[in-house]
Structure 1
Amino acid sequence: MITKRHLLTATAALGTAGALGFNIRPAHAEVNRLRVSHGYGILYLPLIVMRDQKMMEKQAEKAGLGGMAMEWQTLDGGNVINDAMLAGSLDIAGTGSPGFITLWAKARGIPRAEVIGVSGMSTCALVLNANRPHLKTLADFTPNDKIALPGIKTSLAAVVLQMLVAKQFGAENYAKLDPMTVGLPHPEAAQALLSGKTEIAAHFASPPFSIIELNNPSIHKVIAASDVLGDSTLDVIFAPKRFVDANPRTMQVFLAALDEANEFISKDPMAAAQAFNRVTRTTATDEDVVKMIKDPDTRFSATPHGVLEYSRFMHSVGTVRNRADSWKDLFMPALHDRQGS
């Protein structure tokens, strides 16, 4: 028999747990709201299609999770995304593989701070474009030739640039061009490069910005990421590990929605291009975006490829202290039955 004393004891226990900061909710309850971020470029197309077509909401309803409220943010640069994740204002984020690895390595072993990869996402023609004729190779850059990146040191473009420099000048000189880098979101960097009136002499850009820039006769390509990395996954999706552990059904539904988005892109590139332009409002035409989607260097997949190489490189140069031994160390168990690397 449940007495008044029992009820008072239970109420007191709940009050104590709340005071200690524990989240009190029914056992097995999962979130009914997701806060997700993506960036500006074509690398984020799967998330942009999910957003435009409301695929997460539909998959959640189909799976019996009920109504799923989605809150979308547009964030660019690993540092900005990592700060938002650490501040608790994001549940899931798309970001460059190096930015994710930086946060994964920094927080590993700290239960309330740990993050985990949810999936791979994309690769594309990441290109270093320049507006000064003398910049034909990496060796031509001087302290006066500033390179725009979404974020210095840890953004996708920043780490890929270091990897390209290490290959050309030796691993010990991987940071040779770091002093020339300037943190700017892709839209602002493209405007600066195209104007030719600022200190920005180059921009490590992803489509559509790289394409828009190269359509200008005063802009030329210096080097592409694929020259060194092949078709490795440039952007991934990640989340706080405690969030993933607490919401297993939600994460399975998210993967289903992501796979649906990738299938949508493959089957109807024009519809995907239109979704991209509706959400991002770039100056690229639908036809331009279709060309980017069909580019041989562009690939969209939830299965990560080559992400372990970023971890090994960043550990070898001292950017991160913790190194993954397997790609599975980096990603949630729901992805482990796939052929990743």
Structure 2
Amino acid sequence: MKFTKLLGGMLVAGAIAGAPAIGHAEEITITKQPSILYLPALVMEKQGLIEKAAAAEGVKDLKVNWRSFSSGGASTDALLSGNVQIVNSGLGNLLLLWDRTHGKVKGITTNSALPLALVTRDPKIKSLKDYGPKDKIAVPTVRISTQAILLQMACEKVFGKDNWAKLDANTVQLGHPDAAAMLANPNGEITSHFGAPPFYNKEIKTIPNAHIILRSNDIIDGGLSQSTLFTTTKFADANPKIIKAVLTASAQAIDYIKAHTPEAVDIYRELSGDKTSQADLLAMLKQPGMMDFQLAPAGSMKFAAHMHKVGILKTMPKQWTDYFLPVSASLKGN
């Protein structure tokens, strides 16, 4: 989805302010996206953790639907139109909606900060300086996805502060599964993919000449949170027990992943349909930085500062708690 189209979609944000209050929701829909980044969400779905936590809070028989989207742009449109109540997407999408709705969309928690990676199959490309105008890079959403913004931040480091958009014209919008398939096609126009795990891990293992140009941790020291749960303040204010249940369930899911990694991987394989073997996924998660499932937002203010500088955000937040709900303030993010 292009930036102009997303801005057009923001017109429905008025529904957030004008719709009748949601009181004591009995059924909610939460989005999810492909990638093991969203493993905590899949554990919550499989084990019914939100439903159980909500029941403990006094919200009996809550029904939680999980709806898959291939990109964050589509899921945020669904939130603004009222078709879903909670989005699980990239941190950049939260920041964008927080800004465009003047604070009427805020975060609940993050639950992973696994590194992203830019992979190319072109042996001539060794760094960002080697990209020519015809070298196409797949990202989930051009200009505003987490990967697109990370690419801008990397370009600023390599080409100088006024050249952050150096490779914007090279980007093409594709969801991770489609991008991985295109990259595997030796005759396809997509020669690079800024992907999430396990897609880039499989790419460098199975595609001839595929290699990593850079990782998100190379761009933002300390890493960047990816999977982020956010909602409208209207829904949060009307359903504080459900919000608390989401926080509790997220913590339980992360604890389960760390204590029962093989079983969690099996849940991922079952619900995602990923045919990668359990052994390969476990080997991937044993690599440095690949078990970074956490509730506290990481790197978000650095990310927001770039978005504000290039004009994607009109308002620069003063601190990370500006775009997270008050109940989330104890997470100690940055």
Name the TM-score, length of structure 2 as normaliser: 0.90
**2:111 touches 2:254 (CA, 8 Å); kept in 1?**
no
CA contact (8 A) 1:311 1:324 kept: yes
Alignment partner for residue 41 of structure 2, among 47, 51, 68? 47
What amino acid does structure 2 have at the position aligned with 1:119?
Answer: T
Rounded to whole Å, the distance in 2 between the matches of 1:151 and 1:225 is: 17
Residue equivalent to 2:185? 195
Spell out, residue by residue over 1:49-70, the C-alpha distance to the aligned partner (whole angstroms, 9 max, x if none).
1011111122222322101111
Alpha-carbon distance in structure 1 between the residues aligned to 2:80 and 2:171 = 25
Partner of 1:286: 278
Are 1:168 and 2:196 an aligned pair? no
Q: 1:258 aligns with which of 227, 240, 250?
A: 250
Residue 100 (structure 2) pairs with residue 100 (structure 1): no
The counterpart of 1:233, out of the listed 216, 225, 231, is 225
Task: Find out whether 1:139 has 2:129 as its counterpart.
Answer: yes
What is the CA RMSD across the aligned residues, in angstroms? 1.5
In structure 2, the residue matched to 1:307 is: 300
Query: Within 5 A, what are the aligned runs for 1:120-139?
Result: 120-139=110-129
Partner of 2:52: 58
Q: Which runs of 5+ in 2 are unaligned?
A: 1-17
CA distance in 2, matches of 1:104, 1:171: 26
| Separation (CA, whole Å) in 2 of partners of 1:72 and 1:78 | 15
Question: Match of 1:309, as an amino acid?
Answer: K
Q: 2:317 aligns with which of 319, 324, 327?
A: 324
Q: For structure 1, list consecutive stretches of 5 or more residues without a partner in the other structure.
A: 1-20
Q: Distance in 1 between matches of 2:264 and 2:29?
A: 22
**Does residue 1:219 correspond to 2:210, yes or no?**
yes
Counterpart position of 1:86 = 80
* Cα deviations by residue, 1:267-311 (Å, 9 ceiling, x for unpaired): 011011001011111121112222333332231111112211111
One-letter amino acid matched to 2:89: T
**For 2:20, what is the secondary structure of its paired residue?**
coil
Kindly indicate whether the alpha-carbon contact (under 8 Å) linking 2:116 and 2:196 is maintained by their aligned counterparts in 1: yes
**Structure 1 position 24, deviation (Å):** 7.1
Secondary structure of 1:334's aligned partner: helix
Aligned to 1:123, the other structure's residue is in SS state: coil
**Amino acid in the other structure paired with 2:209:** S
Identity %: 32
Determine the C-alpha separation between the residues in 1 that align with 2:232 and 2:210.
Answer: 40
Shift of 1:22: 5.8
